[in-house]
Structure 1
Amino acid sequence: MHDDKIILVHNGALGDFLIAWPALLAVARQYGNEAALLYAGREPYAPWAAAAGFQPAPGETRAAVERLYGASSWDTPALAPLAGSRIIWIGLRTPPFDAALLHATDGGARLTFLPMVPENGGGESVRAHLARMMDERLALPWPEDAATVWQERVARWHGLNGRSGDEKNGEIGGDVLLFPGAGHRAKEWPAQRWLDLARRLLDRGLSCRLVLGPVELERGFDAQGVPAIAPPSLAELIERIAEAAAVAGADTGPMHAAALTGTPALALFGPTGARLWAPAEACILRADVDCRPCSTTTHGIACAERDCMESIAVDAVEKSVLEILDVKKEKPACLSSQTSRLLQKQ
């Protein structure tokens, strides 16, 4: 069957999309000369899909993709705009549509689902698992140069040539960005500790800023006089991360943005597993409690308190941030041996 259109769908969270971005690049490289490449996932990510080679799907196509959620057969008239297409849907674990649609029928489309999370957690990271699914289901290799391509195509939009800060006379250029929020409250490090950390870094003469997203603003996060910014768009968020000297946060999307931009990152892990979700080349600090990790995708987190995240001391986070800044030119991945040891304990 010849595919007239390749339709890529990803409706997940920011971090999930950034992890999956290399898959978009691989699909575009494989099919870009043979078919129209259309993106029909979450609209805020459309500019980044365009950077991989995808154009926004027209309204009729997007509407038909939305109707896949309730359809059980390609004979459904509402799916007619998808005829002759190959749909590649990237999700966490299970297809959000009837499994019968995965089997092509005459006049229908070909639908492939690529899960990011291993069925039983396993020993694979989400990146490794997605790469394996791409190989098994589409015969596509994972593009090892994805971060380089991201930096060329996305950072270039903002006139960036890597981070703006340089080391001059022993001084660190660029901001240290601290991300106090997370998609799930159980993954957050206590707000007061972020404030304490920021003040310590400021006292050392470093330029440090809290980064507040829509959730933190909605919850009325009080920066208590600590410098803070609230990027009005995802594009500006990426720009800030690309220019930063280093970033620190919980298991959250901006840490994966740092991985793509090449900005040194420190990620704090509590209920979720670093082996599964750690950003590429990040320095990892994990909660010191026996019960973690307790969830694969946060859906199973039942604890009302954040005891695991509270077990991470400010001293440890400060030390790790300073280590990142000290070695950022030689080892932007932080202390790789330390990271490896931590991941092996997950």
Structure 2
Amino acid sequence: MSSILLVHRGALGDFLMAWPSMLAIRERFADQAVFWAGSATRLPWLRPLGVEPCPLEMRRGMDALFLREPWPVELADARVFWFVLDTDPPVPAHSRLHVLRGIVGSGSVPTTSPRDAYAQGLRELGIGWNPDWPAGWRGLFGAWGSGQGRKGDAEILLFPGAGHPAKQWPLVQFFELARWLQGQGRSVRFVLGPAERDRGMEIRDYPVSWPHSLDVLQELLLGARLVVGNDSGPVHLAGMLGVPGLALFGPALETQWGPVGLRTIGLDLACRPCTRTGRIACADPRCMLEIPQNMVRREVGALLAR
């Protein structure tokens, strides 16, 4: 019996962009075994679809692909769907290998999100894409507002980190925002991850959570009133779960990388965006440093008013 192998080796936000297409592949090949070749931390979001970890034999076949040998016998009956951003994997082309690119076109100001680019790639392969995928996600993993997240004393979660320092609004600005929210009678909590721990980010005078797993992060999000954060994986997860919130964008463009369902803001500067692919070389990220406090407060106030 033939099988399907899903491959993705990117960051959390990139994976969440690809998830709707993984759902489409699972639905298209409902009568076949589907396996996952990627970070084990993503499996909680794939197992409910019937996706299982890649068996050892298939992993050997994947390793053989990198040796640029003929199509491995371990993958003889497999179709491989490999998700990338803009660079093809360093393996030989083959009729059973489908590379799905999240970044398409060559324009300097991209507007197509990786989510939509993956969907287009699937359509070109004759695989339909369900536009109602958010309902599928929330039915499987939880939806904000279903008994959680609307209590008056629920906390506002602040995410001051990001995968790259140039994508971070200054920490002092988050402190100012937290102080303002407390003055409005709101409860706030900072949420930090491994990257912030490695960079020595320190939060004083405010509650802080360090989720030790993505499951814990998801539970935290579902219990929040809203989220405010930089362009980062946790903010994308909040949008997938339907949590209201605001995402701050700098080097990357919000029309390309914006989380589903969240408000986004970014400055209108001539140097924006300076990346289409997520690779950032800017040493002076004015686009983040100069986002004014009053702009963020105005957007957060509008969200709270709703």
Query: Pairwise mapping of residues 1-346 of structure 1 onto structure 2 (< 5 A)?
Result: 4-33=2-31, 35-74=32-71, 79-98=72-91, 101-104=92-95, 110-121=96-107, 122-137=110-125, 139-155=126-142, 162=146, 164-166=148-150, 172-299=152-279, 301-327=280-306
Please give the TM-score of this superposition, normalised by the length of structure 1. 0.83
Residue 234 of structure 1: CA displacement? Answer: 0.7
AA of the residue aligned to 1:222: E
Please give the TM-score of this superposition, normalised by the length of structure 2. 0.93
Mapped contact 1:134–1:142 kept (Cα < 8 A):
yes
Query: Aligned partners of 2:256 and 2:275: how far apart in 1?
Result: 11
Query: Aligned partners of 1:81 and 1:231: how far apart in 2?
Result: 38
Fraction of identical pairs, as percent: 38
Secondary structure of the residue that 2:295 maps to in structure 1?
A: helix
Query: Aligned partners of 1:19 and 1:298: how far apart in 2?
Result: 13
Query: Aligned partners of 2:37 and 2:120: how far apart in 1?
Result: 23
Query: Aligned partners of 2:39 and 2:23: how far apart in 1?
Result: 17
Q: Which structure has the higher relative contact order (CA within 8 Å, separation 6+)?
A: 2
Residue 192 of structure 1: CA displacement? Answer: 1.0
Q: Which moved more, 1:263-272 or 1:89-98?
A: 89-98
Query: Aligned partners of 1:166 and 1:43: how far apart in 2?
Result: 32
For these two proteins, the number of residue pairs brought into alignment is 304
Q: Deviations over 1:6-55 (max 9, x none)?
A: 1111111100101111111111111022x111111121101111123311
AA of the residue aligned to 1:164: Q
Kindly report the root-mean-square deviation, in angstroms, between the aligned alpha carbons of the 2 structures. 1.8
Which residues of structure 1 form unaligned runs of 5+?
105-109, 328-346
Residue 163 of structure 1: CA displacement? Answer: 5.8
Residue 128 of structure 1: CA displacement? Answer: 1.8
Query: Aligned partners of 2:252 and 2:227: how far apart in 1?
Result: 19
Runs (4 or more) in structure 1 with deviation over 6 Å come to none
Mapped contact 1:247–1:265 kept (Cα < 8 A):
yes
Residue 254 to residue 162, structure 1, CA distance change in 2 (3 Å) = farther
AA of the residue aligned to 2:210: A
Which residues of structure 2 form unaligned runs of 5+?
none
